[in-house]
Amino acid sequence: MEQRKLGPSDLDVPSICLGGNVYGWTLSEADTFHQLDHALDVGLNFIDTADVYSRWAPGHQGGESESILGRWFAKSGRRKEVILATKVGMEMGEGKKGLSARYITDAVDASLKRLQTDCIDLYQAHRDDPETPLEETLGAFDALVKQGKVRFIGASNYTGARLAAAMETSRKNGLASYVSLQPHYNLVERQPFESDLLPVIAKYGLGVVPYFSLAAGFLTGKYTRDSDPSQSARGGMVKKYFNDRGFAVVDALADIAKKHRSTPARVALAWLLEQPGITAPIASATNDRQFEDLAGAITLELDQDEIRRLCEVSAPVAA
């Protein structure tokens, strides 16, 4: 399986990352354990979660995904086989959010406890915190690296300007710096990544681990023009793609998939893997068929005409 370097670090990862947002939400604990065992058996060992997953679900408090992963680590004994990424910064309750040094220090210990591990491979700022100086945030992350609680740090949901400022802050102050960015990027969500973030990524040599790689399931082909998105758990996320451009992308994916005897999901992920700067798209699976799509995307090779067709049909509409 192809391995890609995560930014300027020595952290090599498979070119697909399993999204842990579904663990304990739309995927039961038993099915999560089954998926994780299977994933490692086929070489998919890069897993991304966050402390806030899945606080949005009724009756959940946040930490559910990390806790399930922790119980799987304890049961399987396979923690050392996994490249573990989690995130901090989203609201976890009254006063529990942001990227202040005090909160990061408390939050990482809570995550480590839930995950039942003593070190996180990639600890990411879930979103920018403009209320906290970058020096404070990066100083806190630097301390965690020196303490051995974290191996590398990454960013998510930053603008290009703030990401560049963070990189320069680390450089000028001799602090640990971000090795990766986790942006929203896929065939129907190409901006602002391509215009605002990619130049910064290229300048600093960062790895890119895009989320919503399949546009919350829209790019899998499960929705048609006659579908009612409100009937899906993620219907609110995909409704905005129900337009001529969105379904033109889906039609192109279906045509290319048919040629390769593959699936639209695999083609969409294969396109992402061909884009500049992309290290490992994040995608979630809630059943074995979806999981096979993730694993199969790694070996699917698109030709230049197919890549060009997808780029043209998904071209962002001018404002």
**Which CATH number belongs to the domain containing residue 121 in this structure?**
3.20.20.100
Indicate whether 74 belongs to any domain.
yes
Token pair recorded at residue 315: 């071209």
In the numeric block, the tokens 């559910």 are attached to: 64
The whole-number pLDDT of residue 101 equals: 98
Token pair recorded at residue 91: 């609201």
Condensed to tens digits (0 to 9), the pLDDT of residues 108-153 reads: 999 999 999 999 999 999 999 999 999 999 999 999 999 999 999 9
Q: Check: CB of residue 188 under 8 Å from CB of residue 245.
A: yes
The whole model's pTM is what? 0.95
Indicate whether 103 belongs to any domain.
yes
Strands 150-156 and 12-14, by their bridges, are unpaired
Which of 72, 162, 144 has the alpha carbon at shortest distance from 115?
A: 72
Indicate whether 44 belongs to any domain.
yes
In terms of residue numbers, what domain contains 276? 3-218+271-302
SS3 170: helix
Enter the DSSP assignment of 318.
P
Q: Which residues contact 226 (CB under 8 A, 6 or more apart)?
A: none
- Give me the active site residues, please: 53
Indicate whether 72 belongs to any domain.
yes
Q: Check: CB of residue 208 under 8 Å from CB of residue 278.
A: yes
Indicate whether 87 belongs to any domain.
yes
Q: Check: CB of residue 53 under 8 Å from CB of residue 89.
A: no
Indicate whether 247 belongs to any domain.
no
Query: Considering the chain, what is the average pLDDT of its residues?
Result: 95
Helix (H) / strand (E) containing 105: helix 101-115
Indicate whether 234 belongs to any domain.
no
Could you list the beta-strand ranges (E) of 147-272: 150-156, 178-182, 207-208
Count of the separate structural domains present in the chain = 1
Read off the amino acid at residue 281: P
Indicate whether 242 belongs to any domain.
no
Token pair recorded at residue 94: 């009254």
Distance CA 73, CA 120 (A): 13
Per-residue pLDDT of the chain (319 residues; tens, 9 = 90+): 788 999 999 999 989 999 999 999 999 999 999 999 999 999 999 999 999 999 999 999 999 999 999 999 999 999 999 999 999 999 999 999 999 999 999 999 999 999 999 999 999 999 999 999 999 999 999 999 999 999 999 999 999 999 999 999 999 999 999 999 999 999 999 999 999 999 999 999 999 999 999 999 999 999 888 887 766 666 678 889 999 999 999 999 999 999 999 999 999 999 999 999 999 999 999 999 999 999 999 999 999 999 999 999 999 876 5
Condensed to tens digits (0 to 9), the pLDDT of residues 175-215 reads: 999 999 999 999 999 999 999 999 999 999 999 999 999 99
Residue by residue, what is the 3-state secondary structure of 239-282? HHHCCHHHHHHHHHHHHHHHHHCCCHHHHHHHHHHCCCCECCCE
Which of 37, 179, 173, 51 has the alpha carbon at shortest distance from 108?
A: 51
SS3 75: helix
